[in-house]
């Protein structure tokens, strides 16, 4: 025994099965990969936009200030589209250097309104013998144009070099407020030239006729004044601009 080498025996349990060792390696690698991926995601969310702005709404609830009774009948509405093409030309200077040309497409609506606030007993003339009634209304009034902000847009804008450089030092170098004003004027004139008021008179007549016939009148006549009425010194309403107060007459039997 003195001259024979010692035999060292390993514990079989410490050696392990090769399959088991492979599984442990794969599981360990998966854990490491998952940890790295989680750290990357968290870090991305934390440091991608470290100074991001968060909106906090501290507005107070809306407060009702006033309730108003409306006495206007919106009898018809017209929708209009206009292209405003305006050029700001600088004398003796080429357009590429100074000046501006804007093409603005505006879409807006105009309402034709019949005002019922002035209707009183004197507005009706009843003939009991024929069971008929004559109604005299104020002239049809056209509302101010309402521009659709979602549809209206600048189609094209050409600005000179000096204008572009000057716009760097202004808060709003390309404001469209003046374009909206021009579009409103053009749409208002277009509404006056169309049959919008005629459509409103027809619709108002149909509505009033149905109401009055439901009250038992067999014949209804609706008239519209030529001009708005204005109070005189005696306090009475008289037509302004002429003697004939009737602009149009529609009779419904």
Q: Give one DSSP letter per residue of 36-101, joined into a string.
A: HHHHHHHHHHHHSSTT-------PPPP---------EEEEEEEEEEEEEEEEEPPTTS-TTTS-EE
Among the listed residues 7, 222, 189, the one whose alpha carbon sits nearest the alpha carbon of residue 116: 222
Tell me if residue 231 falls in helix, strand or coil. Answer: strand
Best-predicted range by mean pLDDT (87-101, 163-177, 198-212): 198-212
How many CB atoms lie under 10 A from the CB of residue 152?
A: 19
User: Residue 101: what are its φ and ψ, rounded to 5°?
Assistant: -130, 130
77 strand-pairing partners: 111
Using one digit for the tens of pLDDT, what is the confidence trace for 103-127?
899 999 999 999 888 888 888 899 9
Higher pLDDT, 103 or 42: 103
Q: How much is the mean pLDDT over the chain?
A: 74
Question: To the nearest whole percent, how much of the chain has pLDDT over 90?
Answer: 30
106 contacts 84 by C-beta, under 8 angstroms: yes
- Whole-prediction pTM value? 0.60
136 strand-pairing partners: 223
Q: Cα–Cα distance between 241 and 226 in angstroms, integer?
A: 8
Among the listed residues 224, 225, 209, the one whose alpha carbon sits nearest the alpha carbon of residue 132: 209
Does residue 141 carry a pLDDT above 80?
yes
Q: Cα–Cα distance between 76 and 199 in angstroms, integer?
A: 6
């Amino acid at each position: 025994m003195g001259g024979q080498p010692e035999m060292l025996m390993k514990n079989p349990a410490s050696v392990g099965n090769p399959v088991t060792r492979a599984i442990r390696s794969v599981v360990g690698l998966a854990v490491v990969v998952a940890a790295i991926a989680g750290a990357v995601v968290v870090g991305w969310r934390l440091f991608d936009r470290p100074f991001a702005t968060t909106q906090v709404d501290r507005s107070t609830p809306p407060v009702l200030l006033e309730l108003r009774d409306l006495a206007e009948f919106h009898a018809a509405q017209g929708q209009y589209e206009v292209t405003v093409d305006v050029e700001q030309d600088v004398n003796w200077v080429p357009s590429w250097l100074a000046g501006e040309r804007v093409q603005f497409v505006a879409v807006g609506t105009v309402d034709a309104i019949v005002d019922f606030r002035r209707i009183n007993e004197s507005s009706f003339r009843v003939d009991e013998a024929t069971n008929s009634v004559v109604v005299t209304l104020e002239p049809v009034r056209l509302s101010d144009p309402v521009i659709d902000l979602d549809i209206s847009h600048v189609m094209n804008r050409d600005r000179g070099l000096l204008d572009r450089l000057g716009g760097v030092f202004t808060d709003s170098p390309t404001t469209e407020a003046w374009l909206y004003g021009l579009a409103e004027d053009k749409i208002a004139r277009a509404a006056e030239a169309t049959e919008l008021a005629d459509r409103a008179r027809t619709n108002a007549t149909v509505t009033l006729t149905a109401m009055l016939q439901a009250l038992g009148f067999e014949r209804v006549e609706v008239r519209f004044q030529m001009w708005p009425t204005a109070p005189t010194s005696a306090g009475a309403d008289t037509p302004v601009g002429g003697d004939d107060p009737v602009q149009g007459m529609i009779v419904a039997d």
